[in-house]
Chains A and B, each alone.
Chain A
Amino acid sequence: MPVSGKHAAGQGRALRALVLACALLVSLLIAPPALALTTNKATARPNEDGGHNVIGGLPTRLTWEGTVDAGEQVVSVTLTLPGDGTFEDASVKVTVLDGLDRVPIGVASASAEGDSITVAFSEPIPAGSLLRLELEDTHLPSEGGAVSVTGSYATAAGATVELEASEPIAVIANTWLQQAVAALDASPAVQAWNSNQFLGMFFKPQLMLTSLFSLFPGWLVCLAIVLAAYPFAIALGLLFALMKISHNPLLRAISVVYINILRGTPLFLQIYIMFFGLPMLGIVIDNNVLGVAVMAINSSAYLAEIFRAGIQSIPQGQYEAAASLGMNRIQTMFTIILPQTVRRVIPTVTSDFITSYKDTSLLSSVGVMELMMFAKNATSVSGNITPYVTAALFYLVVTLPLIKVVGIIEKNLARSERGQGTRPGAKAKASQAHAGGGPSLEIAGSSHFEGADGEHSLPGGLLAPFVPAMPAASMQRGDGHGR
């Protein structure tokens, strides 16, 4: 506005008020000669497989309702869709209600032409009655969006009047996925498959396809949680493992309590305590972050035991060899023992990783939007188990390769410790004598000195309590029930 100062501003306001008043007046004066047919609503039946959405480009039933005003009779109605929407005139149903009474008026003719359809009635529809049109096989625009139905009607007096646009219908774009589902829907083979109660309930192809996409974000969350948690779990686990074999009784006690409590209670319970307990203390942390924290803490207890057993599985001879070179306890641990431990525990740690990855599913119980949560939602919407089966596929696609990897590593590890294949010129007997019972070979060797049926204690607090073989039972978590 090319004015300035308080005075000018006041003038502008007055001007606007005047314009508004004039517009109101004009609109009253030139209003059309009464909208005789008032659009009440237009709705479309959901056509999403297992969902409640309306998808464009796929057949649906459009229901349109209007009320005929007093003083007019309607002989035909024309409805029009935007975009590439189309009507089908083969199956059109008319319902006319006068108050609560049904008026016997039917369809005289219905002709669809591309994006519009004209329905003529067998008798003029009397004033004041409710008109409902149900149009089967209507295709709403495939690009989706908010779709309003427009059109016009003809009165008994011969006038043609525009209809007001309906409230918009929310339509989902028809993607290639929807088209694929539609193709599956139409396929006789799929129909036959689904007619089997078991196959249809657990392996419905349409749902399998859609849930593959709808569960994907949940799968990413699962991976993100476990991948974020695991480095912390490893660091914490190593810390508590070293504390547990320490010579300081306080550190040992702290570690034992930590490990035993976490291994002795279910992860499910730990999740509840953290997720419901912390908010009670006024500590509000993002669900995903808290999920990472719970998984890291829980896993660290198992990893601590794995690392401890791994460390203690290193033959005493390694400590003695390091000691005889003059290495101190820390040098021995970090340059001799831990590097060997890492190789030995990789299979067990990988198994633990698999368990942790699966156990992220428990976080769904406290509302973390991970894979299980998405699967639950998809199942409760569709009433079909197939999304759960899809979730299983998402878990397996990670766990199966890892299980395979564990197997390969274990095989390689056994081979490298025995020196099979790579050792030149070794006689079978030599490798037997040397390899003995696999990894515990050197233990057998080092305990062979005479008079050594007692314990071999190392001076300077060098030796942690030594267990010759990794106690397998304490390293594996079982099948997850124990958590």
Chain B
Amino acid sequence: MVGKRKAKLELPVVPPPLGAEEAARGAFAADRDLTSHHFVEGEHPIVRIEHLNKTFDGTTQVLRDVNLNVWPGEVVVVLGPSGSGKSTMLRCINLLEIPTAGHILIEDEEITGKGATDVNKLRRDVGMVFQSFNLFPHLTAKENVMIGQTKVLGKSKGEAEKEALIQLEAVGLLDRADYKPAALSGGQQQRVAIARAVAMHPNVILFDEPTSALDPELVRGVLDVMRDLAENSGMTMIIVTHEMGFARDVADRVVFMEDGVVVEQGRPEKVFDHPENQRTAEFLGSIE
């Protein structure tokens, strides 16, 4: 019995979060060469991840001391093999997973260790698009996009509907507004899910392998919508994906993770063409 059970891990001790100004200065210096996104001195990162650790069951360590800054309007693509902790990191950012240790700050406000009410408030500012779409099957496409606006933002039905139709048009599904998810293809469902997230006008949208559950011929439509969002809306996006071509085209920065650690990060052409890390090179080689 005892032999089979994994030893309990000790909780890592992490320093308290940095002050806003100090962090911004440090991040500016550190990230200047890592991203093709343009930001100016004095600007603050919109998301700061400091010393993030995540342990499941107290035995399996999924994230080890992850540090990452995301700037307003930046598009960050997170790559890495299965089980590397990409999705867990993403889910920590809107507290679908509770970090075991470390800090996550959104607009310089620490979100870890908060009550349910504050968590709900946080989540309306952090949109999420899931691998399995997670549309509400009892609602039409339009209602899926409306429900967060009416229930959470307190918008009137009319306002919400107007916004919903705008967002559905943006993802090319205006003609499917009154269809239930079951009557939509996977690609269409995912585009509705993107419209649902965007309609909340969040500060940042998290994409958790948005095309992994799709048939190859449906992937393109979803990627086009995301590309349009990245290039034309100025939306801050953190994307976990296996779509290398998309990452190279759209990302301002590529983050490579393995075994719960950020192994390498940088501009896409740098990471793809001249990876510094051996594992990054192997992974990119094996994928392509």
Contact = CB atoms under 8 A, between A and B. Distances in A.
Interface of A: 315, 317-318, 320-329, 331, 335-336, 339-340, 343, 416-419, 422-427, 429-430, 433-434, 441-442, 444-446, 448-462
B77 interface: no
Contacts of A454: 56-57, 60
A327 B151 contact: yes
Given A425-B185, A445-B213, A453-B60, A324 B123 contact: yes
B123 A417 contact: no
B215 A430 contact: yes
Nearest to A328: B120
Contacts of B196: 325
A458 B92 CA distance: 10
14 contacts: A317-B130, A320-B96, A326-B122, A327-B151, A328-B116, A328-B120, A336-B136, A419-B184, A423-B182, A424-B185, A451-B60, A459-B98, A459-B119, A460-B95
A336 B115 CA distance: 22
Give the interface centre of A429, A430, A459 by most chain B CB atoms within 10 Å.
A459
A325 B124 contact: yes
Given A326-B200, A433-B186, A449 B147 contact: no
Interface in B43-84: 56-57, 60, 62, 82-84
A247 to B, nearest CB: 11
A425 B187 CA distance: 11
Contacts of A446: 130-132, 134
Most B CB atoms within 10 A — which of A323, A329, A340?
A323
Contacts of B268: none
B213 to A, nearest CB: 6
A450 B57 CA distance: 15
B182 A339 contact: no
B102 interface: no
B174 to A, nearest CB: 15
Given A328-B117, A423-B185, 14 more contacts: A323-B94, A326-B122, A326-B152, A328-B116, A424-B185, A441-B132, A442-B132, A448-B131, A449-B88, A449-B208, A452-B87, A454-B56, A455-B57, A457-B97
B115 A460 contact: yes
B183 A326 contact: no
Contacts of A423: 182-185
Nearest to B148: A325
Interface of B: 56-57, 60, 62, 82-88, 91, 94-98, 115-117, 119-128, 130-138, 147-148, 151-152, 180-186, 193, 196-197, 200, 208-209, 212-215, 217-218, 260
A340 B138 contact: yes
B126 A339 contact: no
A387 B203 CA distance: 73
Contact of B56 (A317, A426, A455, A458): A455
B266 to A, nearest CB: 22
Contact of A429 (B200, B209, B215): B215
A449 B114 CA distance: 24
Interface centre among B125, B131, B136, B182, by most chain A C-beta atoms within 10 angstroms, is B182
A335 B135 CA distance: 13
Nearest to B153: A326
Nearest to A460: B116
B182 A451 contact: no
B128 A430 contact: no
A326 B258 CA distance: 30
Nearest to B208: A449
A336 to B, nearest CB: 6
Given A320-B96, A446-B134, A448-B131, A326 B60 contact: no
B185 A422 contact: no
Contacts of A318: 134, 136
A456 B60 CA distance: 13
A324 B151 CA distance: 13
B209 to A, nearest CB: 8
Top 9 nearest A-B pairs by Cβ distance? A445-B132, A454-B56, A326-B124, A460-B116, A419-B182, A325-B148, A449-B87, A321-B134, A324-B128
Contacts of B197: 324
A457 B132 contact: no
A451 B218 contact: no
A283 to B, nearest CB: 43
A325 B117 CA distance: 13
A336 B134 CA distance: 11
Given A445-B213, A446-B130, A324 B182 contact: no
A339 B123 contact: no
A320 B134 contact: yes
Nearest to A458: B96
Nearest to B149: A325
A427 B186 CA distance: 10
Nearest to A427: B215
Given A327-B151, A422-B183, A457 B98 contact: yes
A424 B132 contact: no
A101 B193 CA distance: 106
A196 B230 CA distance: 86
Nearest to B217: A427
Contacts of A429: 215
A424 B182 CA distance: 10
A226 to B, nearest CB: 28
B61 to A, nearest CB: 9
